Structure formats: structure tokens, C-alpha cells
Amino acid sequence: MPINWDEFDNEIDDIIAESAEETDQKLASKISSITRMTDDEVKELFPEPADIKKLVELMKVVKSSENRNNKINKLVGNAEEFGGIVLTLLAKFA
């Protein structure tokens, strides 16, 4: 089932606005529902709500229907924003 990224993004924004200093269970659950990570892994890897937002933006690029070259260009154009998230993910899964 395709993900409605606009709706997902709005839900993430709402959850981030409600969350405190650490990622709460609701936010972690939302991310784990579309990834292979558990709630606990999400909370461990991305304790800040802003990091979750960056992760969602990265996932939107990677999962978009655009061709590979356009995806690469978007990743390169946002390398500074996505750099920390990519390092976190690679450290976990590499």
C-alpha cells in the first residue's frame, strides 16, 4: 500500500509539536510502522524530534517515484541536512 507522504508528514509535524525533549512512544510507533526498526530502536537512534523529521524527509526522497538520478540530486542537494541521519542509520545497519 503506497504511503501518502503529505498526510504522513502532517501527522509527524503534529506529533513532533506534542512531543517533549525525547521522542515519545507515539512518534516512535509511527516511524516503526513504516520501517524495519522497532519503537525502541527509533527512540534510541533518534531521540530528538527534529531528527525524526529529517528521517521522514530522507525517506520521502528515497521512496519517491522519481528516477534514481533525481533522487541522487535531491540527496546531494540536502546532504548537510541528511548527513547525520545517514551516519546514524549506517552505523546501526552496517
| Predicted pLDDT of residue 26 | 86
Intra-chain end-to-end CA distance of the chain, in Å: 28
Asked whether the beta carbons of 82 and 74 are under 8 A apart, the reply is: no
* pLDDT, tens digit (0-9, with 9 covering 90-100), for 6-34: 899 888 888 877 766 566 788 899 999 99
Q: Choose the most confident range, by mean pLDDT, from 28-37, 42-51, 68-77.
A: 68-77
What is this structure's pTM?
A: 0.80
